[in-house]
């Protein structure tokens, strides 16, 4: 029910990094005119987007990316060439093909024993310098220490809505090694939390309850 909401945030983070929106705002609010620092942006049109995980959210991201004029390549553990043809994206045979050939990468995998740290030091070394990596899946899918090292070295930029260790209380300190890095943008695990998503979840819950208690209605 929240697939579209998470996909929207993934796209928002891509645009945020490409256009350096937070830095723009800080300078403007400080009454500093700093246009030369922020132009030209690379832009998304014509860029290569690699999607790791082509379930519901990955496909929602692909749909939006195609509308933006991006070249989209998808990989998923059960994603087939036939699936790719239906979605209208290029098919990658393995995750390395996505990592090595993308300007932007978005990650949409569940966290399992198989996917924990599926992107770590070895995989990040294969990523093209200058790539932007977006994680709106689960924190443990990407090795945060390895990601922090890659960002600190200036090889990639990244954004995430999820982290390996997340605070549980309001105003609790964020302990992620990513938090202090200039090449990183973070949000507070809010990807699926829009009014539309909550309303859709409520409607589906009502449908499930009605079908269970009133199967012949």
Active site residues: 138, 166, 189
Which segments of 134-214 does DSSP mark as H helices, in order? 144-152, 195-213
**Rounded Cα–Cα distance for residues 61 and 66 (Å):** 9
Preceding peptide of 40 cis, ω within 30° = yes
**Rounded Cα–Cα distance for residues 143 and 78 (Å):** 23
In 3D space, the residue among 128, 114, 120 whose CA is nearest the CA of residue 53 turns out to be: 114
In 3D space, the residue among 129, 118, 120, 138 whose CA is nearest the CA of residue 183 turns out to be: 129
Torsion 181-183-187-192 (CA) sign:
negative
Both tokens of 85, joined, read 């043809």
């Amino acid at each position: 029910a929240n697939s579209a909401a998470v996909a929207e945030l993934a796209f928002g983070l891509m645009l945020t990094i490409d256009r350096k929106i937070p830095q723009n705002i800080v300078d403007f609010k400080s009454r500093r005119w700093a246009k030369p620092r922020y132009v030209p942006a690379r832009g998304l049109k014509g860029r290569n987007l690699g999607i790791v995980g082509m379930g519901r959210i990955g496909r929602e991201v692909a749909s939006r990316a195609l509308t933006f004029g991006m070249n989209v390549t998808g990989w998923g553990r059960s994603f087939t060439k036939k699936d790719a043809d239906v979605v209208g994206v290029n098919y990658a045979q393995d995750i390395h093909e996505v990592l090595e050939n993308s300007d932007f990468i978005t990650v949409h995998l569940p966290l399992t024993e198989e996917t924990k740290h599926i992107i770590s030091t070895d995989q990040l070394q294969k990523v093209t310098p200058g790539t932007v990596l977006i994680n709106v899946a689960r924190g443990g899918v990407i090795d945060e220490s390895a990601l922090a090292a890659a960002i600190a070295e200036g090889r990639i930029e990244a954004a995430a809505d999820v982290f390996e260790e997340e605070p549980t209380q309001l105003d609790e300190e964020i302990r992620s090694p990513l938090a202090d890095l200039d090449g990183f943008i973070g949000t507070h695990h809010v990807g699926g939390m829009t009014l539309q998503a909550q309303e859709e979840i409520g409607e589906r819950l009502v449908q499930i309850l009605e079908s269970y208690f009133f199967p012949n209605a």
